[in-house]
Chains A and B, each alone.
Chain A
Amino acid sequence: MVLKLLKKERLLSFLERLMQKFLLVAPVREGNLTVYRPVKAAAEVAVDAPKSVVPPKEWFFPQTEEIYRYATSKENLVLEENVLAPPAVLFGVRPCDLRSFQVLDAVFLQEPADRYYAARRENTLLIGMSCNTACPECFCTAYGISPLKGTGADIHLTDIGTAYLVEALTPKGEEIVLQDPEFYEEKVAGIDEALRAKEQALTAEFAVQVAVTDLPAKMAALFNHPYWEELSRRCLGCGICTYVCPTCHCFDITDENRGNTGKRLRCWDACLFRDYTLHTSGHNPRHALHQRLRNRFFHKLKYNLDRYGIEGCVGCGRCVALCPVNIDIREVIATVRGLQV
């Protein structure tokens, strides 16, 4: 691992240098929102922007993507695959979202690997950014994530006042850092203690401390508990929690047709939607809203762990902050852990 310091005033040149070789995808401000998108100039990057509503998974798994085009005629069928994966840097990814890529990797890179996701993942250099502030809805530490650690990133930056601590965590990251030694200064003593203090201060801002011990076993025993129906009474059945979730990966595949040619698209889908599991026959295995809501929580808190060995929640708090009727996964976790089996 290479450790350096990057003076804050040099960040812009650091980004511009990256832009010579890579497409820079970074947080920018659009009105009151933070969104990750390709930037034309490094100055557009909103380094200290609050957490994005739509998580940066969007870069690897866009809400709508053309997977191939087709042209049909009586004798012929031509399929033209469309895998877009330019060399890119995804900059400013928060530790919770960095973890989400490990969760998504388990799904999309498992054999047979998803070519679109795999290609973009491979061609993207990940630069993480420690959190400077915590939202009251954050609870990443419940999953062993530190808001100041860049696990999963190639390079990770942490604001230490006048400079960023730069950690190159992979050979890919080291190469980038070592190619421009003039940008950096050597790490000075005392930083580790300062970071520990900062971590404590940040996590103290979490409104709720969440513990997930024994949760999957507890969930399994409570599948038929009336709690899920009670919880679903206020659920709107909209797709907010799934669309802002950094680990939700469900999608639909549809055609957009123009005569004999068209595009096959992959679009995000949400397990809360009525037609998500609807069979052609009209039978719906999860016809009731409480079944769909329960499935979502089971997926996040149990199924993902059972299937891939990694929790399906990263504690980013987006669903908590954005649910219009205050369905709060932190409360769900605490309630389930407290229910009598």
Chain B
Amino acid sequence: MKEITESLRREAARLLNEGVELFIGYAAGTRPACARPFFVTKPEEVTGLVFDPFCVPNLVKYILRHADKKVAVVVKGCDRAAVDRLVAERHLDRARITLVGVPCGGMLARERVLAELGPNPRIEAVEDRGPSFVLRVRGEERTFEKRKFLMEKCLGCTRNNPAGVDVMVGKEAPPVADPEYDPLKEIRAIEALPAAERAAFWEKVFGRCLRCYACREVCPACSCTECTFEQAVPGWQQGATWISKAKSLPDNYHYHLIRAFHVAGRCAGCAECERVCPVGIPLMLLNRKLAADIASLFGETEEDPCGALCVYSLADPDEFE
């Protein structure tokens, strides 16, 4: 991954010299197999930039915080889609952003890799060898077959070379999608359960939600400046809010289902919500199910950045009932 990192640093330095005020990329984290968002404002700081299969965070949402600046941001293929949505919804001015695309060989599932390497390995180098990543740990090469060690979101990924970016670094990556991967397998299994068991499943996972709102804060589709769950209901209900602060099953359900519907058709599939959840709620089950339903009801919406649920057409043959 050395070449991508190096060309990333070169491009970042060039962009910063050419008037970009903020370059958002990744730096190595303090924990093994962990990269973190990194904000560069001076060309001499680009040496901190890295790219490897642990650069999981989607950086797109950070652009929203710097509406007044010329920003360049590193995007993987899955992050890229979020930009189109935000531009289409006029949260972002595309002309102000420089998208720096990175060819992505897939992201490694950190826990699974650490389970192999032990809790605190020193990863000295990473090499993408197509069907596998090779990690050098204490001088020793360890091979991680992608089919087994990629994050689930990568197994069905068909866009690992981001399209429509302003700068592309490195060479095009070979496809990562696993042809045998079925994104709906787990969903179908849950759908096949009797209603009571299905309810028990969701009660169990939603029951443990801490309502830390990390899934919302990280989500590029959660772009509202004021979240509906923080909005006071107007006077006639004496300032009640839409959701109680209480951690209770009904409130947890309410939060997650409303959020799922708010991002339906707009979810870019980056799976950040699921990654950040401290209690392991499988939120992508909801997002993938909604995406599949929208696709079957309205056809594929890949080309329409606004998503099926955001489109209004006078020619719509269906009555609004």
Q: Which residues of A contact B (CB under 8 A)?
A: 30-33, 35, 53-54, 63-64, 135-137, 205, 207-208, 230, 233-234, 236-240, 242-244, 252, 254, 256-257, 265, 267-270, 273-275, 320-322, 324-326, 328, 330-331
Taken together as a complex, chains A and B put the C-alpha atoms of A257 and B238 apart, in Å, by 11
Is B213's CB under 8 angstroms from A239's CB?
yes
Is A31's CB under 8 angstroms from B230's CB?
no
Give every chain B residue within 8 A of A256 (Cβ-Cβ).
Answer: 244, 246
Contact of A243 among B29, B30, B212, B280 (CB under 8 A): B212
The answer to the question of B245 belonging to the interface, with a C-beta cut-off of 8 Å to chain A, is yes
Contact of A270 among B30, B212, B279 (CB under 8 A): B212
Is B278's CB under 8 angstroms from A240's CB?
yes
Is A243's CB under 8 angstroms from B120's CB?
no
Secondary structure at the A interface, as helix, strand, loop or mixed, is loop
Chain A minimum-CB-distance residue to B219: A236
Give every chain A residue within 8 A of B210 (Cβ-Cβ).
Answer: 54, 63, 239-240, 243-244
Q: Known: A33-B280, A238-B276, A243-B212. Is A330-B30 also a contact (CB below 8 A)?
A: yes
Selected A-B contacts with CB under 8 Å, 10 pairs: A33-B208, A53-B279, A54-B210, A238-B276, A240-B212, A243-B278, A257-B240, A268-B247, A270-B212, A328-B30
Q: Known: A275-B230, A324-B57, A328-B31. Is A269-B245 also a contact (CB below 8 A)?
A: yes
Is B213's CB under 8 angstroms from A64's CB?
no
Is A326's CB under 8 angstroms from B34's CB?
yes
The answer to the question of B130 belonging to the interface, with a C-beta cut-off of 8 Å to chain A, is no
Please provide the 7 A-B residue pairs with the shortest distance between their CB atoms, ordered closest to farther.
A238-B214, A324-B276, A326-B36, A239-B212, A326-B29, A136-B120, A236-B217
The answer to the question of B131 belonging to the interface, with a C-beta cut-off of 8 Å to chain A, is no
Is B37's CB under 8 angstroms from A325's CB?
yes
The answer to the question of B253 belonging to the interface, with a C-beta cut-off of 8 Å to chain A, is no
Is B37's CB under 8 angstroms from A234's CB?
yes
Is B247's CB under 8 angstroms from A64's CB?
yes
Q: Using a CB-CB cutoff of 8 Å, which residues 1-59 of chain B contact chain A?
A: 29-32, 34-39, 57
Is B36's CB under 8 angstroms from A234's CB?
yes
Is B31's CB under 8 angstroms from A326's CB?
yes
Give every chain B residue within 8 A of A30 (Cβ-Cβ).
Answer: 204, 208
Shortest beta-carbon distance from A190 to chain B in Å: 29
Is B29's CB under 8 angstroms from A32's CB?
no
Shortest beta-carbon distance from A322 to chain B in Å: 5
Shortest beta-carbon distance from B220 to chain A in Å: 12
Among A33, A208, A233: residue with most chain B CB under 10 A? A233
Taken together as a complex, chains A and B put the C-alpha atoms of A283 and B211 apart, in Å, by 25
Taken together as a complex, chains A and B put the C-alpha atoms of A240 and B210 apart, in Å, by 8
Query: Which range contains the number of B residues in contact with the other chain?
Result: 35 or more
Shortest beta-carbon distance from B16 to chain A in Å: 16
The answer to the question of B164 belonging to the interface, with a C-beta cut-off of 8 Å to chain A, is no
Shortest beta-carbon distance from B132 to chain A in Å: 25
Shortest beta-carbon distance from B95 to chain A in Å: 23
Is A254's CB under 8 angstroms from B246's CB?
yes
Is A254's CB under 8 angstroms from B278's CB?
no
Chain B minimum-CB-distance residue to A317: B31
The answer to the question of B248 belonging to the interface, with a C-beta cut-off of 8 Å to chain A, is yes
Is B212's CB under 8 angstroms from A324's CB?
no
Give every chain A residue within 8 A of B279 (Cβ-Cβ).
Answer: 33, 53-54
Give every chain A residue within 8 A of B76 (Cβ-Cβ).
Answer: none
Is A252's CB under 8 angstroms from B245's CB?
yes
Give every chain A residue within 8 A of B280 (Cβ-Cβ).
Answer: 31-33
Taken together as a complex, chains A and B put the C-alpha atoms of A207 and B118 apart, in Å, by 12
Q: Using a CB-CB cutoff of 8 Å, which residues 191-237 of chain B contact chain A?
A: 204, 208, 210-214, 216-218, 230
The answer to the question of B275 belonging to the interface, with a C-beta cut-off of 8 Å to chain A, is yes
Shortest beta-carbon distance from A243 to chain B in Å: 5
Shortest beta-carbon distance from A222 to chain B in Å: 20
Taken together as a complex, chains A and B put the C-alpha atoms of A38 and B253 apart, in Å, by 24
Give every chain A residue within 8 A of B36 (Cβ-Cβ).
Answer: 234, 325-326
Taken together as a complex, chains A and B put the C-alpha atoms of A289 and B155 apart, in Å, by 35
Is B276's CB under 8 angstroms from A233's CB?
no
Shortest beta-carbon distance from B153 to chain A in Å: 15
Taken together as a complex, chains A and B put the C-alpha atoms of A207 and B30 apart, in Å, by 9
Is B218's CB under 8 angstroms from A324's CB?
yes
Q: Known: A31-B280, A136-B119, A324-B275. Is A208-B30 also a contact (CB below 8 A)?
A: yes
Give every chain A residue within 8 A of B276 (Cβ-Cβ).
Answer: 236, 238, 240, 324
Q: Using a CB-CB cutoff of 8 Å, which residues 105-129 of chain B contact chain A?
A: 119-120
Give every chain A residue within 8 A of B244 (Cβ-Cβ).
Answer: 254, 256, 265, 267
Shortest beta-carbon distance from B268 to chain A in Å: 17
Contact of A205 among B120, B211, B212, B230 (CB under 8 A): B120
Shortest beta-carbon distance from A203 to chain B in Å: 13
Is B120's CB under 8 angstroms from A325's CB?
no
Give every chain B residue within 8 A of A236 (Cβ-Cβ).
Answer: 214, 217-218, 276
Taken together as a complex, chains A and B put the C-alpha atoms of A269 and B210 apart, in Å, by 11
Taken together as a complex, chains A and B put the C-alpha atoms of A186 and B142 apart, in Å, by 48
Contact of B213 among A238, A326, A331 (CB under 8 A): A238
Give every chain B residue within 8 A of A31 (Cβ-Cβ).
Answer: 280
Taken together as a complex, chains A and B put the C-alpha atoms of A76 and B177 apart, in Å, by 67
Contact of A234 among B39, B119, B247 (CB under 8 A): B39
Is A135's CB under 8 angstroms from B218's CB?
no
Give every chain B residue within 8 A of A233 (Cβ-Cβ).
Answer: 37, 39, 62, 65
Taken together as a complex, chains A and B put the C-alpha atoms of A207 and B65 apart, in Å, by 33
Q: Known: A33-B208, A325-B36. Is A274-B230 also a contact (CB below 8 A)?
A: yes
Give every chain B residue within 8 A of A325 (Cβ-Cβ).
Answer: 36-37, 57
